[in-house]
Amino acid sequence: MEFYREMGEADVETIGGVLKRWWLRAELYRDPEGDRIHAAVQAGTAPGTSASAVLRRFGAV
């Protein structure tokens, strides 16, 4: 029901972001490794660089 609420409250400028966010959430839930990946991200042990670190590196934050 939350999906429908957010879609109903979104305006023309934000509806694409709402839809993309829900689509990504659905893809993560469908991924058989989703729980492991989520736990690694929360623990700070996931491979790669966080978005905030990349933004800091480029001086955006």
Tens digits of per-residue pLDDT, 5-57? 999 999 999 999 999 999 888 887 787 887 888 888 888 888 888 778 888 88
Q: Are residues 37 and 46 in contact, defined by beta-carbon separation less than 8 angstroms?
A: yes
Q: Are residues 52 and 61 in contact, defined by beta-carbon separation less than 8 angstroms?
A: yes
- Tell me the C-alpha distance between 25 and 30, whole Å: 9
pLDDT at 15 (0 to 100)? 93
Residue 46 structural domain: 2-57
- Tell me the C-alpha distance between 16 and 23, whole Å: 10
The domain total for the chain is 1
- Tell me the C-alpha distance between 32 and 3, whole Å: 23
